Amino acid sequence: MGILEGKKGLILGTANDKSIAWGVTQACHREGAELGFNYLGEALEKRVRPLAESVDAKFIEPMDVGDDASMDAFFAKVAERWGKLDFIVHSIAFANKDALKNRFSNTSREDFQLALNISAYSFVAVAGRAAALMQNGGSMVTMTYLGAVRAVPNYHVMGVAKAALESSTRYLAQDLGPDGIRVNAVSAGPIRTLAASAVGDFRNLMAKSARGSMLKRNVSQEEVGNTAAYLLSDLASGVTGEVHYVDSGFHIGAGDPGAE
């Protein structure tokens, strides 16, 4: 019997079969969960719907986390079709490409707001709506990156957004804990996904991350997915407010000096 048997959960942030959300989906499906999905816009529906159907999902609806009306419509459908919810996975981030390339000190107000809105506030917005459907407790997991706590070249405003996301994880854990709802973040090492492939010199960053890691290799979507499935399950019933690294141990190292 799977560790998520009998549980209903939402996977938010699938773009394609390279998405971290898809690695989480495969682990959750294998462990017996019933899954629901969102997609951002019609272009992604064509990719997400067949993927979601391949894991027997029946709930596949649009949601733009930058739009309160879109979020309300999505969660109204969750309430109508499922009534209750056991877990959510938030695997969503966005920043203007220029802000990840130009000097950090030149970040515009607009680009700062966009990155924090889509990459950090959206977790709070999703968590509040989901918590209302978690009558028997629940578990929430978001995806973060080391750039939240270290200055990683070019990660820039996304690092600021991930710092806000990790802090939001702790405040959500405090707020929702009395309702039996746990909230955690998984800090993944670099993985080649749609969002990552749009980043210049990602190949070099991946090579450096592998060299500087304890396991001397990068991590996969599947490894991140398995860790998320554990955090979503009752096996992690005493774990909340945590940032759990799945990065081959890179973050415990000294970084570049030993890596080269």
Interface positions with ligand NAD (CB under 6 A): 13-15, 19-21, 40, 44, 63-66, 91-94, 118, 143-145, 188, 190-191, 193-196
Nearer to ligand NAD, 46 or 178 (CB): 46
Query: Catalytic: 171?
Result: no
**CB of 40 closer than 8 Å to CB of 118:** no
CA gyration radius, the chain: 18
What is the SS3 assignment for 88? strand
Catalytic residue (one of 145, 171, 230, 245): 145
* Closest residue to bound ligand 0WE by CB: 198
148 is an interface residue for ligand 0WE by CB under 6 A = no
Q: What is the DSSP letter of 216?
A: S
Nearer to ligand NAD, 82 or 94 (CB): 94
Closer residue to ligand NAD (CB): 137 or 163: 163
Residues 6+ apart with CB under 8 A from 212: 250, 253, 255, 256, 258, 259
Window 91 to 130, contacts with ligand 0WE (CB under 6 A): 93-95, 97, 100
Instruction: Lay out the site mask for ligand 0WE across 151-170 (x = CB under 6 A, - = otherwise).
Output: -x-xx--x------------
CA atoms within 13 A on the CB side of 57: 26
* Distance (Å, whole) CA 83 – CA 143: 26
List active site positions. Answer: 145, 155
